[in-house]
Every structure is written in C-alpha cells, then in structure tokens.
C-alpha cells in the first residue's frame, strides 16, 4: 500500500507522518477490504473524510479525485512478486533454524520518526523491526564512510 500510494497521504499529500489504511468506499456503506478499495491517509484526512463518499469529500478537488480513482486500478504485481520472493527466502532460512522475522519499511520509518532520528540508511538499519523500536543512537556516533580509489592508474 505504501509503495502504491507513494508513501504519502492520498488526499493531501502529507509525507513523513503516520499514515492509516483508508477505505475509499466506507465499509459501512458497502465498501470492501479489497486492495482496489483501499488507500492510505494521514490521521487528519482520514478523520475529516469519516463516513463520507470520496466524491463528497473531494468535491472541491476534482483533480485529486481523478488521480485517486486512476491509482486504485494500478497493479500490485511487482510488489506481490517481491513479497513472495522475500517470504520464500525467509522460510528457507527458517528451515535451517535461523531466527527470522519480517518487517516492512513502514515499521522502520515509524520507529525512526517516533525516536526523532533523521532519515539516513544507516539509521534505518538500526530502526528495523521490533528491536528497532527502542534504540539509542548517540549524536556523536557517525557511520564509517569509505572511498574507492583506482590504484592501477589505468585509463579507461
């Protein structure tokens, strides 16, 4: 869902905020849990939309309404293939008795933001999964950076 909707609120475009799964057509009005009826929204937009139809909620934003309706038809085929591969590899590792858990990038981002860390790959690596929910990264800690040097002096 995060990838499909660009990791931002489908309604207002807010980024780097907690996002919730939102039913485009509310369940109380016959909507389903199918992926084609789901989007992601910030808490504010999700609460503001409430039980209204998407057409009513976005009546003053026809461009946003058109974009969301088009996006609901977007295929998740690539995402499904990546997830299937991830679980297949993970299950093979589990068969060797290795402790393996699966977490989403959304959980990593949530952990990082909740702990008020800046976005950086090395920080995300510390904030992965359940164990990343409570990590201490001292401000003085910096990643080791390296630079490659061509010592052969060959011209390419």
CA neighbours closer than 13 Å in the CB half-sphere of residue 3? 11
Q: What is the pLDDT of residue 155?
A: 62
Residue 127: which pLDDT band, with cuts at 50, 70 and 90?
Answer: very high
Tokens 């309604």, residue located: 11
Q: Alpha helix locations (H) across the chain?
A: 43-49, 54-57, 62-71, 77-95, 105-114, 121-126
Q: Bridge partners of 20?
A: 41
* Cα–Cα distance measured from residue 19 to residue 61, given in angstroms and rounded to the nearest whole number: 20
For CA atoms 127, 130, 133, 136, the dihedral sign is negative
Give tens-digit pLDDT for 83-103. 788 889 988 999 999 888 878
| pTM of the model as a whole | 0.52
Give tens-digit pLDDT for 26-63. 888 888 888 888 999 999 999 999 989 999 999 999 99
């Amino acid at each position: 869902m995060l990838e499909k909707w660009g990791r931002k609120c489908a309604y207002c475009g807010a980024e780097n905020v907690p996002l919730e799964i939102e039913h485009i057509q509310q369940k109380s009005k016959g909507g389903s849990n199918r992926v084609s009826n789901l989007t992601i929204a910030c808490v504010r937009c999700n609460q503001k939309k409430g039980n209204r139809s998407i057409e009513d909620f976005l009546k003053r934003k026809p461009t946003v309404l058109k974009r969301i309706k088009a996006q609901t038809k977007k295929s998740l085929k690539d995402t499904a293939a990546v997830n299937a591969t991830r679980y297949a590899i993970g299950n093979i590792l589990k068969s060797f008795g290795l402790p393996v858990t699966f977490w989403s990038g959304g959980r990593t981002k949530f952990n990082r933001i909740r702990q008020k860390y800046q976005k950086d790959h090395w920080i995300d690596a510390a904030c992965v999964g359940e164990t990343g929910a409570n990590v201490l990264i001292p401000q003085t800690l910096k990643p080791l950076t390296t630079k490659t040097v061509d010592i052969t002096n060959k011209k390419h």
